[in-house]
A and B are shown apart, each in its own frame.
Chain A
Amino acid sequence: AQSVTQPDIHITVSEGASLELRCNYSYGATPYLFWYVQSPGQGLQLLLKYFSGDTLVQGIKGFEAEFKRSQSSFNLRKPSVHWSDAAEYFCAVGALSGANNLFFGTGTRLTVIP
Chain B
Amino acid sequence: EAGVAQSPRYKIIEKRQSVAFWCNPISGHATLYWYQQILGQGPKLLIQFQNNGVVDDSQLPKDRFSAERLKGVDSTLKIQPAKLEDSAVYLCASSTQDTQYFGPGTRLTVL
A residues neighboring B (CB under 8 Å)? 4, 32, 34, 36, 41-46, 49, 51, 90, 92, 94, 99-102, 104-107
Q: Once the chains bind, are A102 and B45 in contact (CB under 8 Å)? A: yes
Q: Once the chains bind, are A99 and B98 in contact (CB under 8 Å)? A: no
Question: What does DSSP make chain B's interface, helix, strand, loop or mixed?
Answer: strand
Residues of B within 8 A of A (CB-CB), count: 25
- List chain B residues, Cβ under 8 A from A92: 42
Within 8 A of A (CB), among B56-111: 56, 91, 93, 95, 98-105, 107
The 4 closest A-B pairs by CB, nearest first: A104-B42, A43-B102, A44-B102, A99-B56
Given contacts A41-B107, A104-B43, A107-B41, 17 further A-B contacts (CB under 8 A): A42-B105, A43-B4, A43-B104, A44-B91, A44-B102, A46-B100, A46-B101, A49-B98, A49-B99, A90-B43, A94-B98, A100-B31, A101-B48, A102-B43, A106-B40, A106-B41, A107-B40
With A101-B33, A107-B42 as contacts: A43 and B105 at CB distance below 8 Å: yes
Q: Once the chains bind, are B103 and A43 in contact (CB under 8 Å)? A: yes
Question: How distant is the Cα of A102 from the Cα of B35 in the complex, in angstroms?
Answer: 10
Question: How distant is the Cα of A93 from the Cα of B73 in the complex, in angstroms?
Answer: 26
B residues neighboring A (CB under 8 Å)? 4, 6, 31, 33, 40-45, 48, 55-56, 91, 93, 95, 98-105, 107
Question: Which listed residue (A41, A45, A100, A107) contacts B98, Cβ 8 A?
Answer: A100
Most buried by B among A32, A41, A45, A106: A41
Q: How far is the CB of A63 from chain B (nearest CB, A)?
A: 16
- List chain B residues, Cβ under 8 A from A45: 102
| Closest A residue, CB atoms, query B43 | A104
